[in-house]
Structure 1
């Protein structure tokens, strides 16, 4: 019963698109699942949760070789799915309090084991589900950043722009620019995002299409005169 108490009504953030499925989604205790099958189900019925959506475990059942989690009231869960949140094992259930979720629907998934369901604590199940559900309630932005290439992650953490970033990633790293300038050179369209103001460092982030192609720092005095970056002292 510790698993039931420890998981029921718990919130998690979706790390993948979670399909809205009539049939129970199978998720192995090793962290494996049929990605193509889940994608096909999503195409048929839509998502129960998108990346970054907050979901809630509305029912937990322990069976011979699996632990079944109902998410947001299951497939038929709707806007008022929270009215049907239950605690239970097998066919015996008891309603509990309501919750809040921004996910579009509900679904059901089973954590399956090779043989009989072993005695586990809720924390162990949460770790098993970590590839698809984050029970630490991190924000959608944090989950998004975790899936970016390492150099882009580092640039965002260091609050700087880097080549290869898109506009959303630059805003995550540096915020919105003070000024934007568009120009066409040799038939190619460019857009400069300008950060900073005199006196001090001015950063020019140049986009070609949707990606950053150049990042340049210059220094401006009180009169607005721009100078190249200072050479490091040796």
Structure 2
């Protein structure tokens, strides 16, 4: 029985005790490499019938709002494996909710104050940074072997790679894979791909061309070849190589398309009102100005009296 068929067949036999114990032994505290980004927060990923959700724009919004818990190529630890109802839940790096340790329930009083040994669950160091994936089936968990479950988890987990680079190369297109292996940068790559291909740059220069901000990543020093990688947003838009013999090679045409814009579009400016602000009611006409009206002038100030003030005394 194939893994895909067992996931959809409601009449398939339930998980046996033998395979349940094998799954628990294999996936508890197992090390994996990540094949797709997981969002931080209480919303993890779900796999059902081979499809991963959330994805596309919905996943991008979660990543923009909460940030990534793990990225493609990262190494993670499965810290909890739970079989319940119609799903398997695999939590990585502690999961999205921090579990409280037994010693965090203890309070010690000293000098009129109370303290918790090891810190409290609200301390920044104890904030959760993990996530999870739910492998969901129809009706119940069918009888599956370890290899069948690994095959179902392949869209998000790599159990076979020996290094982060190897895991990352398995998640990109063949053209990008060959370029990274050759330490070559293509126009259209993102920052992460450049780092995997060339490493972190020795120098970075930030400049602005009109309204567009960019970075030039510089690799190499004379008398060797020097590469200038121009990055706008998260995309390489220009690759310039200065050869030792003085030859200059420039690439600006996009060689790969990752499906995202190089820079976010700027927000449109608010239109200013055509008329000046007024306290008149809607429909009320403005008073007509005199024909010969010009700029108003202030009233003349009377001259001060030239002599001392005069007082008049009245007789009663």
Which TM-score applies when normalising by structure 1? 0.57
Higher strand share: 1
- Among 180, 191, 195, which residue is 2:220 paired with? 195
Cα distance, 1:4 vs. partner?
Answer: 1.9
Q: Secondary structure at the match of 2:142?
A: coil
State the partner residue of 1:113: 137
Cα distance, 1:42 vs. partner?
Answer: 5.1
State the partner residue of 2:230: 207
Q: CA offsets, 1:139-190, max 9 Å, x none? A: 5555555555544332221012333345554443234567778999999988
Q: Secondary structure at the match of 1:49?
A: strand
Q: Which has the larger radius of gyration?
A: 2
- Among 218, 221, 233, which residue is 2:243 paired with? 218
1:122 aligned to 2:146? yes
Inter-CA distance 205–135: structure 2 relative to 1 (3 Å threshold): same
Cα distance, 1:107 vs. partner?
Answer: 5.1
* CA distance, structure 2, for counterparts of residue 38 and residue 138 of structure 1: 31
* CA distance, structure 2, for counterparts of residue 19 and residue 179 of structure 1: 31
State the partner residue of 1:21: 42
The 8 Å contact of residues 48 and 107 in structure 1, kept in 2 or not, is answered as no
1:61 aligned to 2:83? yes
Structure 1 residue runs of 4+, over 6 Å off?
A: 178-190
State the partner residue of 2:70: 50
1:157 aligned to 2:181? yes
Which TM-score applies when normalising by structure 2? 0.45
Q: Secondary structure at the match of 1:215?
A: strand
The 8 Å contact of residues 48 and 105 in structure 1, kept in 2 or not, is answered as no
* CA distance, structure 1, for counterparts of residue 228 and residue 146 of structure 2: 47
Segment of structure 1 superposing worse, 187-196 or 6-15 = 187-196
Q: CA offsets, 1:95-141, max 9 Å, x none? A: xxxxxxxx944555442223543322222212211112223465555
The 8 Å contact of residues 71 and 108 in structure 1, kept in 2 or not, is answered as yes
* CA distance, structure 2, for counterparts of residue 164 and residue 40 of structure 1: 19
Q: CA offsets, 1:66-95, max 9 Å, x none? A: 3344555555334869xxxxxxxxxxxxxx
Q: CA offsets, 1:23-44, max 9 Å, x none? A: x96432x32243169849958x
State the partner residue of 1:9: 29
Of structures 1 and 2, the one with the larger relative CO (CA 8 A, separation 6+) is 1
Q: CA offsets, 1:32-60, max 9 Å, x none? A: 243169849958x9579322251324233
* CA distance, structure 1, for counterparts of residue 67 and residue 229 of structure 2: 36
The 8 Å contact of residues 23 and 146 in structure 2, kept in 1 or not, is answered as yes
Inter-CA distance 204–11: structure 2 relative to 1 (3 Å threshold): closer
Q: Once superposed, what is the RMSD of the aligned Cα atoms? A: 4.8
